Amino acid sequence: MTAVLEAPPVTVAPEKRRRRRDWRAIGAFAVLTGPVVIGLGLFKYVAIAWSFLLSFNDARGTITLGHWIGFDNYAFLLGDDAFLTSLATIALFTVVIVPITFVASLGLAVLINSIKRGKAFFRTIFLIPAAVSYVVAALVWKMALFNGLPSGVANVLGGLFGADPVPWLSETSPPVYWVAVVTLRLWLQVGLYMILFLAGLQAISPSLYEAGELDGTTKWQAFRYITLPQLRNTSVAVLLLILIAAFQAFDEFYNLFGTGLSGTATAPVKPPLVYLYDSALGDQNYGVGSAGSFLLTVLIVVITLLQGRFVGFGKKD
């Protein structure tokens, strides 16, 4: 009614209301993000900060700070042949497993995508190993497929071609255990990446292939000049996922080569996580374990960021 007189309060009121609404938004935001913010804070940020400090301590059998020794733990690690060998091991493993997994999963995806009937059936079969844990796979590989006995599956198959039985997991020259290690991870993971490639393949517009057909492209040319470029983003994501997963390899090495009494002492190969497990849990040396954790974390972050520089992973949206 008295519009002129009431004018000042009217301009204040929406402001007030908006501010009150903001507080409600902030409250809701805090409630909804609270668990994750606190959980990640505790198990990532606090954990890594604490561990970083611990890495400058002599922390044998203790996780409390107080015995500062500077960079001794880092010096110990970088001077320990076993640690350096573990880095070389994982580098070699990565160089082998990444291209094999990449090509195999892309190949399976293209194969399945190109058949009409039974697509879902074959997809299920190739995916189902992803339900199996590394422990169970290692069990089957160690105790049946590559057990080194004449009745072991690998030796039976080899026998068909006239090969002598091979002690797959204990033979170190040549290091044939890599066959077991690589095939195990390939079997478990290839289905997952195949799914990613299948999603990528189905997103390619059929009109591109129709245009290619009009130009008389061969199947190989269509794959090389249409499919591969169109799968660029998927390929990058898959490569990064395979790479980071390979870097964290632990389960199969522990279970293929570990023995109850001596732990992993007799293992012919140890990746960095097995080395860290032995120092932290075996020797209870949390200082060295923390230093190693920190070195590996930095290594993985650097790899991720380097990859990001080249392909734009993790860039701001």
Partner 1 sequence: MAVLPVSRKAPKYVLASVLSLIFLLPFYIMLRNALMTRQQVSSPDWSWLPDPLSWVNFGDLFADASVPMAHSLWNSFLVAVVTAPVGTLFGSMAGYALARINVPGRRAVFTYVLVTLMIPQSVTFVPTFVVVGSMGGVNTEWGIIAPNLFSAFTVILFRNFYLRFPAEIEEAGRLDGLGYLGVYRRLVLPNSGSMIASLGALMFIESWNAFLWPLVIGQDPSSWTAQIALSTFLTAQSVNLPALFAGALVTIAPLVAMFLVAQRFIVSGIAASGLKE
Helix ranges (DSSP H) in the chain: 7-40, 47-54, 72-79, 81-114, 119-127, 134-140, 153-160, 177-202, 206-214, 219-222, 228-230, 232-247, 251-257, 272-277, 286-311
100 vs 149, beta carbon nearer partner 1 = 149
Rounded (10°) CA dihedral 190, 195, 200, 201: 90
Minimum CB separation of residue 241 from partner 1 in Å reads 7
Please answer whether residues 201 and 194 qualify as being in contact, where contact means their C-beta atoms are separated by less than 8 angstroms: no
Bridge partners of residue 60, in order along the sequence: 285
84 vs 127, beta carbon nearer partner 1 = 127
Minimum CB separation of residue 246 from partner 1 in Å reads 11
84 vs 153, beta carbon nearer partner 1 = 153
Minimum CB separation of residue 2 from partner 1 in Å reads 30
Instruction: Name residue, tokens 């972050």.
Output: 301
116 vs 174, beta carbon nearer partner 1 = 116
Angstrom distance (rounded) from CA 275 to CA 87: 10
Please answer whether residues 146 and 180 qualify as being in contact, where contact means their C-beta atoms are separated by less than 8 angstroms: yes
What sign has the CA pseudo-torsion 203, 207, 211, 212?
Answer: positive
Minimum CB separation of residue 117 from partner 1 in Å reads 9
8 vs 116, beta carbon nearer partner 1 = 116
Angstrom distance (rounded) from CA 158 to CA 81: 36
Minimum CB separation of residue 21 from partner 1 in Å reads 10
Minimum CB separation of residue 187 from partner 1 in Å reads 7
48 vs 100, beta carbon nearer partner 1 = 48
Radius of gyration of the chain (CA): 27
